[in-house]
Structure formats: structure tokens, C-alpha cells
């Protein structure tokens, strides 16, 4: 379900545009679709373009509630507009892997990934990142869906 994990130093990626979101587990599918559309429409209106995959930055580990940002790296700085705000992708030491398959199976992949991190003797921060490398836009064959899992480390 996940590729072999690795520990790497991520350099700052790009300027980003983000929308802050809080919702319940049951609302996540509705919130994501609307948030992504709002984000992409807003950056397009400002003449900016996505330069990499959409991502979510979970400010804390999801439980029954989600507290996160929907974001996308952009080719130019954007101005705050409604719920959309400028941000950036920070440099960080991380463990990373790639989940292949349905989004509903992400919790299992995160569990496997977190177990691997613990076996490495690493400590994690309370936040985590998911980059949606490919998904439903590739078609209904979920074996083609790929989500990068990124867990920042404290050391």
C-alpha cells in the first residue's frame, strides 16, 4: 500500500495559496471539493497558475475533526481574497512515502508509515502533509491514484 519510506530534507518548494478548513470527518468530501474549486478559481482570477500538485497541510493529526489547509504551489504571489491566502512551503526534515490507492485507505497507510518512523527512532511534529500526485482526474481505477505522505520530524 505504501512505497518504501525515506528520511529526507525538503527544501522550500514554492509560494503557495491556501484555504484554512475545519470540519468533521463526515464533511471532508464536501469540504475538499468546494475548497479545491474555490482555491483554483481564485488563483486563476489573479493570473496565477498551479506549478505542482494540490496538497493538504493538517495542523494536527485528524481525529473526528479535521483542522487543515488546502493548498497549491503557484507561479507567482497571490493576494488574500476571501478565504484564500498567500503562504509558502517551508524547508523541513521529513519522512516521506507514497500511498497508492483509494483515499479511504489513507488512514491504514498513515498507520503503517507512522510505525516505520517509530522503528527509525524518530520523533514527529504534530502536523502532517498529503500531496495529491494523481487521483480521480486519472479515472476510476484507484490503482493509479498516488498520494505523497509527508511527516515532518523534530530530529
pLDDT given at position 141: 86
**Is pLDDT at 133 greater than 90 in this prediction?**
yes
Residue 141 has phi, psi (to 5 degrees) of -75, 100
Residue in this structure with the C-alpha cell 483515499, named with its chain if needed? 103
- Beta strands 55-58 and 84-88 are unpaired
Share of residues in the chain with pLDDT > 90 (%)? 81
**Is pLDDT at 137 greater than 90 in this prediction?**
no
pLDDT given at position 92: 95
Amino acid at each position: 500500500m505504501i512505497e518504501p519510506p525515506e528520511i529526507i530534507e525538503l527544501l522550500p518548494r514554492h509560494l503557495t495559496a491556501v484555504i484554512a478548513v475545519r470540519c468533521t470527518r463526515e464533511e471532508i468530501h464536501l469540504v475538499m471539493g468546494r475548497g479545491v474549486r474555490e482555491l483554483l478559481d481564485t488563483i486563476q482570477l489573479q493570473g496565477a497558475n498551479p506549478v505542482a500538485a494540490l496538497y493538504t497541510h493538517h495542523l494536527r493529526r485528524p481525529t473526528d475533526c479535521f483542522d487543515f489547509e488546502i493548498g497549491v504551489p503557484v507561479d507567482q504571489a497571490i493576494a488574500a481574497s476571501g478565504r484564500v491566502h498567500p503562504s509558502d512551503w517551508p524547508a523541513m526534515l521529513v519522512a516521506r512515502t507514497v500511498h497508492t490507492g483509494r483515499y479511504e485507505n489513507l488512514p491504514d497507510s498513515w498507520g503503517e508509515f507512522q510505525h516505520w518512523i517509530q522503528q527509525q527512532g524518530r520523533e514527529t511534529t504534530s502536523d502532517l502533509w498529503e500531496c495529491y500526485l494523481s487521483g480521480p482526474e486519472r479515472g476510476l481505477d484507484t490503482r493509479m491514484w498516488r498520494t505523497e505522505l509527508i511527516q515532518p520530524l523534530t530530529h
